[in-house]
A and B are shown apart, each in its own frame.
Chain A
Amino acid sequence: MIRWLKDLLQSNLVADAPASGRSQPPAPPPSVRALPGETLAKQLALVIDLNVCVGCHACVTSCKQWNTSGSAGPLADLNAYGANPTGTFFNRVQTYEAGTFPGTDTIHFPKSCLHCEDPPCVPVCPTGASYKRKEDGIVLVDYDKCIGCKYCAWACPYGARELDEERQVMTKCTLCVDRIYDDQLPKEDRKPACVKACPTGARLFGDVKDPDSEVSKAIRERGGYALMPEWETQPANQYLPRRVTPAKES
C-alpha cells in the first residue's frame, strides 16, 4: 500500500514537472510497477512485421476458424446475418494512416494478446482463471473457472480480451496452445493458425528468450518494439517497424 502510494505520487510529480533542457541526459523514469513480475526462462511470442503486412485479414479468419472449432467451444457470433453483426475474435487487423499527402503511409496493424511478461490481467483475476504458464509464458484463461466479471479486460491496456457473449467467459489469444504442442500434427503445422495462414510471412513465432531464435534475431536486427511501453507490462509480442525502401535508380 505504502509502496503503491509512493509510486503514484512519484509518477505524478514527474508528469507535472515542466520539461527541462535537453542538454543533460534524462534520468530514468520511475517505475510504475511496485512489484515487477518474475522472469521466465522461455517465452513464446509472435513478432509482427508491419513492413510486409498487407491487411488481408487471413490471420483473423484462420484464427477464428481454428479456435471456434476446438474443444473449448465455439467463439460466438451474434446477429451474424443482421445489420450489426458482432462476435468474439482473438485477433483483429486494424488500419492506420500516417504522414501527409502525398507522402502518406498505410499501416495494417494486427493486434492480439501480447502475452505480457508482467501481465496486469493476471493478478486482478479473483478466481485464478486468468494465469500465465510458467513453462512457456503463454497467458491463458481457464474457461471452467472464469465467472465472467470482466475485471481482467479492464486491467488490460491493449483491449486484447473479449468476453464471449454466449459462453459468458473471457476469451483471448492462446497462441494456439492446442496446436503448437500437438504431436499428431506434422512438425511444420505446429505453429499458431495465424502464422501458418499469413501469405506474406508477416507473422513470426518463437521463443523470445532464446537469443538465437528467428523472433529474437528479427527483434534485434529490425528494431522490434513493444506497444505502450509506458505501462511496463513488457509485452512478449513485438512489432517490426516499417522500412523505407528507396526507389531504384534506372
Chain B
Amino acid sequence: MHPAFSILFFTTLAGTGQGLLVLMALALLLGVPMASGFVLAAIGLAQLLLLAGLAASFLHLGHKMRAWRAVLMWRTSWMSREVILLPAFIALVALWWLALAGGGSVGNVGNVGTGALGTVWLPALVVLSALALWYCTAMIYACLRFIEEWAHPLTIVNFMLIGLSAGLVLGCALAALSGEQALLRATGPWAFTVTWLAWATRRLSLRRNSLLRHKSNLQSATGIRSERPVQKSMGMSAGSFNTREFFHGASAAALRHVRWGFQLLAFGLPVLLMGWGLVNAGAWPWLLAALMQAPGLLAERWLFFAQAKHPQNLYYQTVS
C-alpha cells in the first residue's frame, strides 16, 4: 500500500495523545501527587495532539465538507465507528480538563479538581474510551481479510501498545522537564516496560509478515491454469489510481532500512535512554527518548502500510 502521510500523522498523533491521556488518567486514579498546573498542561497537550490528528485525517478526504456523513454507517463500518468515537473522545477530554480546571485547587497532591467527577469518573471513562478508539482505528485495517499483513489480532495489539508507549515516553519527558519526580518515579519503569513490550509484539508482526504466504496468486487472480502466467500489459501505458494507491514505490533496500531504522528510533534507543534515566536521575534521557521516538513512530506506521501487499497488485505487474 502507498503510505499516505495524512494517515501516518493521524494515527501517530492521536495514538500518542491517547497514550498520554491514559497515563494522566491512571496517575490521577492511583493518586500520584502532581501539581495541578502540570496535569492541566499535560491533558491540554494531549488534546492538541488529538486535534492535530483529527485535522490530519481530514487531509485524507477528497470531500472534506461531507465528512459528517461518515458517522452514518456505524453498524457495519469500523471507519464510521472511529469517526464517531474520535470527536466524542475529544469532547470527553475537554470536559475532563474543564472539570479539573473548575475544581479550582491551586495546590498539588492529587486534589486537582476536588470532585470525584474530575479524579474518578472522567479519568476512568477516558481510559476506556482511549482503548475503544485504538480498537476502532486498528480494526479499520485488521478487518480487511485479504490484506493479510493487517488481518491479524497483532495489528490491534500493536496499535494499542505503540500508542501507549508513545504516550508514556512523552509523559515521562514532560514529568522530567517539569520536575514532577513522583510521577516520573511511578511512570518511568512502566514506560520502559511497555516500550519493550511494544517492540516485542511489533517484531512478532514483522516476523509474521516475512513468513507470510499469500493466499492469492496470479493463477487465482486470473483463473489462468498455466504453470507460469506472466503479465504482458496492465491495460494502460502510464499509471492509474491502481498503480498509485496500492504501491509504495520504494526500493527493497529502503524498506529494509526503514525496518531497522524505526526499531532503533521508536524502541531500541528510547529503551536504552530510559534505562539510563531510571538509574541516573536527570531530565535529559527522558527528553531525548521522546525526541528519538517521534520520527520512529512515523517510520513504523510508514512500514505498516508499505509492507501490506494488496492482492490487486497482482493485476498491475507490467506496464507494457
**A156 cross-chain contacts in B, Cβ below 8 A:** 312
Which of B79, B225, B239, B310 has the largest count of A CB atoms less than 10 A from its CB? B79
Q: Are A98 and B228 in contact (CB under 8 A)?
A: yes
The chain B residues found within 8 Å of chain A, CB to CB, are 1, 60-64, 66-67, 69-73, 76-80, 83, 140, 143-147, 151-153, 213, 215-216, 218, 220-242, 245-246, 310-313, 315-316
Interfacial residues of chain A within 220-250, with CB under 8 A of chain B in the complex: 225-231, 239, 241
A60-B235, A149-B60, A230-B215 as given contacts; A96 in contact with B224, CB under 8 Å: yes
Chain B nearest CB: distance from A40 CB in Å? Answer: 17
Which of B145, B216, B311 has the largest count of A CB atoms less than 10 A from its CB? B145
Chain A nearest CB: distance from B300 CB in Å? Answer: 19
Q: Are A105 and B226 in contact (CB under 8 A)?
A: yes
Q: Are A163 and B62 in contact (CB under 8 A)?
A: yes
Chain B nearest CB: distance from A29 CB in Å? Answer: 10
Q: Are A85 and B237 in contact (CB under 8 A)?
A: yes
Q: Mark the stretch among A118-126, A132-140, A200-208 that contacts chain B.
A: A118-126
Q: Are B215 and A109 in contact (CB under 8 A)?
A: no
Q: Name the residue on A nearest B231 (C-beta).
A: A96
Q: Are A96 and B229 in contact (CB under 8 A)?
A: yes
A130 and B67 alpha carbons, distance in the complex (Å): 15
A195 and B229 alpha carbons, distance in the complex (Å): 27
Q: Are B315 and A94 in contact (CB under 8 A)?
A: yes
The chain A residues found within 8 Å of chain B, CB to CB, are 4-5, 8, 12, 15, 32, 50, 57, 60, 83-89, 92-100, 105-107, 109, 111, 120, 122-129, 145-151, 153-159, 161-163, 165, 167-169, 225-231, 239, 241
Q: Are B73 and A127 in contact (CB under 8 A)?
A: yes
Question: 8 closest Cβ contacts across the A-B interface?
Answer: A148-B62, A168-B62, A159-B312, A98-B226, A92-B235, A123-B76, A126-B70, A126-B80
Chain A nearest CB: distance from B285 CB in Å? Answer: 39
A109 and B152 alpha carbons, distance in the complex (Å): 33
Q: Are A159 and B242 in contact (CB under 8 A)?
A: yes
Q: Are B315 and A111 in contact (CB under 8 A)?
A: yes
Chain A nearest CB: distance from B56 CB in Å? Answer: 13
Q: Are B79 and A126 in contact (CB under 8 A)?
A: yes
Q: Are B220 and A228 in contact (CB under 8 A)?
A: yes
Chain B nearest CB: distance from A222 CB in Å? Answer: 12
Q: Name the residue on B nearest A108 (C-beta).
A: B233
Chain B nearest CB: distance from A96 CB in Å? Answer: 5
Which of A96, A109, A227, A229 has the largest count of B CB atoms less than 10 A from its CB? A96
Q: Is the interface of B mostly helix, strand, loop or mixed?
A: loop
A42 and B224 alpha carbons, distance in the complex (Å): 28
A126-B80, A159-B312 as given contacts; A151 in contact with B152, CB under 8 Å: no
In-complex Cβ contact of B229 among A97, A150, A167, A239 (8 A): A97
A122 and B315 alpha carbons, distance in the complex (Å): 22
A129 and B80 alpha carbons, distance in the complex (Å): 12
A150 and B4 alpha carbons, distance in the complex (Å): 11
**B236 cross-chain contacts in A, Cβ below 8 A:** 86, 89, 92
A94-B235, A151-B79 as given contacts; A230 in contact with B220, CB under 8 Å: yes
A128-B73, A227-B222 as given contacts; A157 in contact with B216, CB under 8 Å: yes
**A57 cross-chain contacts in B, Cβ below 8 A:** 235
**A4 cross-chain contacts in B, Cβ below 8 A:** 143
**B241 cross-chain contacts in A, Cβ below 8 A:** 88, 153, 161-163, 165
A95 and B220 alpha carbons, distance in the complex (Å): 16
Q: Name the residue on B nearest A85 (C-beta).
A: B238
Given contacts A98-B230, A146-B63, A149-B62, 5 further A-B contacts (CB under 8 A): A5-B153, A94-B234, A97-B230, A154-B147, A227-B221
Chain A nearest CB: distance from B207 CB in Å? Answer: 13
Q: Name the residue on B nearest A7 (C-beta).
A: B145
Q: Name the residue on B nearest A223 (C-beta).
A: B223
**B215 cross-chain contacts in A, Cβ below 8 A:** 15, 230-231
A-B contact pairs, 14 of them (CB 8 A): A84-B238, A84-B239, A92-B235, A93-B235, A99-B226, A123-B77, A125-B73, A126-B72, A148-B61, A158-B315, A165-B241, A168-B63, A169-B62, A231-B215
